[in-house]
Amino acid sequence: MKRRIAALSLSLTSILCLATAGVALASPPQDVRPAAVLQPTITGSFSAGELLTGGTVSAKFSIANPNPATVLTTVGVTVFFNVAIPTFSPKTVCGGTLTRTGGNMAVLAGATIAAASSCPFAIDVVGTSPLSLQFVTSSLTANGALAPSTASGATQVVDQPTIQVSFTPTSVVAGAKSTLKITLTNPPTNSVAVNQAGATITLQSGLAVINGTSSAGTCGGTVKTLAPSVITISGSTIPKGGSCTTAVFVTGTTSGLKSIAAKVHMDFGAGTNASTAGLTVVDATPAPTPAPTPAPTAAEPAPTPAPSDTPVATVSESPVASASATAGVVAAASANASASPSLAALPTMPASGGGDGAVLLLLGILIGAVLALGSAAVAVLFVRRRPVPVAVAAAAAATPGQTEPPATN
């Protein structure tokens, strides 16, 4: 029995060995060859979409190794430009060498790029005139084999626009507004529209932008006010052979002639073209009105004498009337003097008295004349000072020896 069991076990073991061997013989052999190496790729572009004439722009490149575990060696590429590039000394790039060749070419050779890594490099170019600046690359080489990847790029070189600023109106009262007009013009030397154009405007102290009144006008883009005295314009587009305008409202805060300075500013670099304008601000406080000159007043009339029953003779202010009155008084005084008793009382000397009688008569006549002239002089002075009542004059004539009328109240 034991022998049968042992024989059966041996048979089963033999069967299992034969089955295992058959499976092994039936399985195909495994592929142990190395994995294929992925080809590198290159990308490139200019650092700015536009460039002012005379400016410098960089052409930037990157070569990528897509292999997760394979290092790329002897990597190389040639870059061609449509303009001459500035001279530069050979540069070490990713273990290789970048060299300027032929005036408008640059060659990278012998670079090494680690697995899953990249190799960047850049070449500077100057835009000498308005044109489309371009580059294109050759195919890459790596590990002694060609890779079909290439790159190309372009940027526009333009002449900078001109700028003009003006105020309307050019004179305002402090606190009133004036429209500041900014005009950007695309010069005829440019064969394309100018994009990313702008300007910076600085206002003199005493001027301020009225908030909420800025307008992009026909230029588009963005208008910003930095504090009250700086205005910036950016992102504007100026059509080929044309111009665009931007309007901003400005007010004057102090009186005087105020000025602004404007300068072209591109989004990719500052310009040099500039313009200025002036705004006259007048003080809003009115000038003081001078006091009116008082009109001359009429002379006060002479006081009116109290009414009297006695008629009063008045003398006119007219020179003619005064002279007539004076002459009349003198005549009256002379008549009174001639009728005076003092003269009448003079004795009449007989003719037989000889020479002595004649002398006495002449002396009497002289005394009478002196008395008459004294009365007339006093009458003239009194008449010029105040009206002479008729009754007084009559009394003076009737009173013997009196030379001036009595004072009256």
Among candidate residues 149, 191, 180, the one with its CA nearest the CA of residue 43? 149
Q: Tokens 């490139």 identify what position?
A: 44
pLDDT value at residue 339: 46
Lowest mean pLDDT among 54-68, 71-85, 316-330, 344-358: 316-330
Q: Percent helix, strand and coil across the chain, each rounded to 5?
A: 25, 40, 40
Cα separation, 237 vs 61, whole angstroms: 29
As a residue count, the chain comes to 409
Beta strand 171-173 pairing with 269-282: parallel
Q: Do domains 41-158 and 162-282 have the same CATH topology?
A: yes
Summarised one tens digit per residue, pLDDT across range 202-258 is 999 999 988 766 666 888 888 888 767 899 999 999 999 999 999 999 999 999 999
CA distances from residue 185 to 198, 241, 365 in whole angstroms, order as listed:
11, 8, 120
Superfamily name and number for 162-282:
Immunoglobulins (2.60.40.10)
Q: Is the confidence at residue 392, as pLDDT, over 80? A: no
Angle at 257 between CA 254 and CA 263, to 5 degrees: 105
What is the helix (H) or strand (E) element at residue 100, kind and residue range? strand 96-101
Residue ranges per structural domain of the chain? 41-158, 162-282, 312-398
Are 200 and 207 in contact by the 8 Å Cβ rule? The answer is no
Q: Is 2 exposed, middle or buried (0-12, 13-18, 19+ CB in 10 A)?
A: exposed
Asked if pLDDT for residue 37 goes beyond 80, the answer is: yes
Q: Which residues contact 298 (CB under 8 A, 6 or more apart)?
A: none
Instruction: Yes or no: say if 326 and 319 are a contact pair by the CB < 8 Å rule.
Output: no
| Cα 12 versus chain centre, distance | 111
Confidence of residue 265 (pLDDT cuts 50, 70, 90): confident
**268 pLDDT higher than 90:** no
Backbone angles phi, psi at 47, to 5 degrees: -75, -15
Spatial distance between the Cα atoms of 384 and 380, rounded to a whole number of angstroms: 6
Percent of the chain with pLDDT over 90: 49
Cα separation, 314 vs 322, in Å, equals 10
pLDDT at 284: 77
Instruction: Give the model's pLDDT for residue 71.
Output: 96
> Would you state the CATH architecture of domain 41-158?
Sandwich (2.60)
- Cβ neighbours around 397 below 10 Å, total: 18
Res 155 pLDDT > 60: yes
Amino acid letter, 235: G
Dihedral class, residue 256 (left if φ above 0, else alpha if ψ from -120 to 50, else beta): left
pLDDT tens track for 48-70: 889 999 999 999 999 999 999 99
How large a percentage of the chain has pLDDT more than 70? 62
pTM: 0.57
What is the per-residue pLDDT across 329-340, written as a single tens digit (0 to 9) for each?
A: 444 444 444 444
